[in-house]
Amino acid sequence: MIPHRGANAHLAGIWEANRDSDQCGRDIAAVYIVDAADRAALPVATDELHELMDKPTLEGIPLLVLGNKSDLPNKLSVDELIDAMDLKSITHREVSCYGISAKEETNLDAVLHWLIAKASR
């Protein structure tokens, strides 16, 4: 799982170190979580995501982008998130995007079903 670092830029290499250690077995997906209600942070999150998707270690791995805080009135819709993050330009892999609310537990079942489907391949 790759959360948008935002103010936690000191976490920059942690996910890669864990990924490269091969502790988790085979990779089933890259999950990138952004705050769908924080429009100001999206350009940085978008740049980070596109940079990550260019990494050879993630080549071909399906991508799931989760827009958290879908319970807030000022959140981006899934279509707006897809456009704002230029997800359609990410090719050579399956890309999915869901709006979720960790607080309200909205759409978490869909995320689990998506992950289970990828794990069973």
Residues of the binding site for GTP: 68-71
> 3-state SS of the chain: helix, strand, coil percent to 5?
40, 15, 40
SS3 label, residue 121 = coil
Residue corresponding to tokens 């992950």:
115
Binding residues: 68-71
Closest by Cα among 32, 31, 29 to 6: 32
